[in-house]
Chain A
């Protein structure tokens, strides 16, 4: 069991290092496509922690959600700052405030969702269908975004 935990820790560290390396390469080379890949890899590390742990709800999930969102937003902001556009005074402060609001919103949303899950504690096919519908909804969002990106 101890050996299994040590192996898992090494895998998590490796995944995290790879994620940070991908993020660093993306930021240095100004490649926005690497940002979701890096965030996804960091998420994979969290999945590994959850899978290896017991079945109780992890109260750190909202913090992880907020942290991943903050990493992604900061990375995109870093790329946007490289555009040769002179910002008017106060732009950075407003962006920082927006970022803080988004992270706090993610924390609050996560906390509410966790509380709901704990209160309902329902399982079975209904929850599975709900989860699948949410995943499909995310994919529909992708399609909508792609359609709005298309030029007329």
Chain B
């Protein structure tokens, strides 16, 4: 522990010296009497002070949590020797807050004493955190000397984004050959009725529709749509984000991506992730719970990294973007590289849907006329980008903070139904 003297030590020693010199100068012993306590107190304090020997243990209730969860954090402080005043500060990373209790507390420890401090952490924002950066300051009985140290008891804590409520998701146009929950457009073995046709050699007897056969006087069988899975690629734009205070478009985008990944994986779809930004990260499509954790863990690492290099979809590994995959892009449409990359994906015949995380709420117009004009022009440019995608047949839904994602995706589904009818 690093010792440091309180300002009182130097102040009292200085006062003692001043009064003693005055006593000598004016030949008044009373001034020496005044000087005596100021001289004796620091002398006693420095002579009697002993560095505290404190041990601290940190326990976190669990290593994972959801946004807005509250966790118990327990600190056990023990000392062999008495410590008159021990100040303990828990430095929390940005995104974690104290639900109750104080970040800095003072304790008094006796001989072989042990005290427990209970704190409640509130996970304000998703992320990978290390909790346990502790600063200790022990003071002697007279408060003249302090010993400071920093303890590294860091314990990992993963805070997963809070899922949005979703009743339905965007259905892909094409399906894959594996079994899943998506009704395929092709006909085959399945549950969903598709059509009627005349009996052919090899048809199973159980597929004969006896009522239709009776009406038509010929054997007729039911045709069905098989349930298949799909390949879904979640395309997260991390080139830029808009930020105000503790909120940002990236936070919302990560939350939406995590929710969509969970929902698609529940439907037995193969889900992959492309984090397209200053640093390219990807996960090849996969299924199941393990893939869900892989995606969420990858999302927790998401951050905006500035990079001036031009990037397009050609740098994405081919196996990350399987043919006929549905690409759901979650983007604030702030960076031209992401805007062009999405248009490029559409040009490569990928089934594309865009959830635009609106940065408009994060950019308030200035007070001057020119600032407001610039803001309006910026909004117009954004509308032009959306119109460009819609001309390419890509649904763009704008999602703002506080708006339910379900309603936004309904807009995407409606657009895609309309687009499908037009194509037909």
Residues of A within 8 A of B (CB): 32-33, 35-36, 39-40, 43, 46-47, 50-51, 57-58, 61-62, 64-66, 68-69, 72, 76, 80, 83-88, 91, 94, 98, 102, 105-106, 109-110, 113-114, 117, 128, 131-132, 134-135, 137-139, 141-142, 144-146, 148-149, 151-152
Can you name 10 A-B residue pairings with CB atoms under 8 Å? A36-B11, A46-B31, A50-B28, A72-B12, A85-B106, A86-B102, A128-B24, A131-B23, A134-B39, A142-B17
Chain B count of residues within 8 A CB distance of the other chain: 56
CB distance from B227 to the nearest CB of A (A): 59
Chain B interface, >50% SS class: helix
Residues of B within 8 A of A (CB): 2-24, 26, 28-43, 46, 85, 87, 89, 101-108, 141-143, 145
Tell whether, in the assembled complex, residue B2 and residue A152 are in contact, meaning their CB atoms are under 8 Å apart. yes
Tell whether, in the assembled complex, residue B36 and residue A110 are in contact, meaning their CB atoms are under 8 Å apart. yes
Considering the chains assembled together, what is the distance between the CA atoms of A132 and B101 in angstroms?
A: 53
Measured CB to CB, the nearest residue on chain A to B40 is A109
Tell whether, in the assembled complex, residue B13 and residue A138 are in contact, meaning their CB atoms are under 8 Å apart. yes
- A32: which B residues are within 8 A, CB to CB? 7, 11
Considering the chains assembled together, what is the distance between the CA atoms of A65 and B37 in angstroms?
A: 7
Considering the chains assembled together, what is the distance between the CA atoms of A135 and B107 in angstroms?
A: 37
- A35: which B residues are within 8 A, CB to CB? 11
A135-B11 contact given A50-B31, A98-B142, A102-B37, CB 8 Å threshold: no
- A91: which B residues are within 8 A, CB to CB? 85, 106, 108
Tell whether, in the assembled complex, residue B15 and residue A43 are in contact, meaning their CB atoms are under 8 Å apart. yes
Tell whether, in the assembled complex, residue B30 and residue A61 are in contact, meaning their CB atoms are under 8 Å apart. yes
A142-B14 contact given A57-B30, A86-B105, A91-B106, CB 8 Å threshold: yes
A135-B8 contact given A40-B15, A50-B31, A145-B13, CB 8 Å threshold: no
Tell whether, in the assembled complex, residue B18 and residue A64 are in contact, meaning their CB atoms are under 8 Å apart. no
A47-B14 contact given A117-B29, A145-B9, CB 8 Å threshold: no
A106-B10 contact given A47-B26, A135-B24, A138-B20, CB 8 Å threshold: no
Which are the 9 A-B pairs with shortest beta-carbon distances? A86-B102, A106-B37, A61-B30, A36-B11, A138-B17, A135-B20, A145-B9, A138-B16, A61-B33
Of the residues B11, B33, B103, contact of A113 by C-beta under 8 Å: B33
CB distance from B101 to the nearest CB of A (A): 8
Of the residues B15, B17, B32, B46, contact of A139 by C-beta under 8 Å: B17
Of the residues B26, B39, B89, contact of A138 by C-beta under 8 Å: B39
Tell whether, in the assembled complex, residue B3 and residue A148 are in contact, meaning their CB atoms are under 8 Å apart. yes
- B16: which A residues are within 8 A, CB to CB? 138, 141
Considering the chains assembled together, what is the distance between the CA atoms of A40 and B42 in angstroms?
A: 17
Tell whether, in the assembled complex, residue B102 and residue A85 are in contact, meaning their CB atoms are under 8 Å apart. yes
- B11: which A residues are within 8 A, CB to CB? 32, 35-36, 39, 72
CB distance from B33 to the nearest CB of A (A): 4
Measured CB to CB, the nearest residue on chain A to B49 is A148
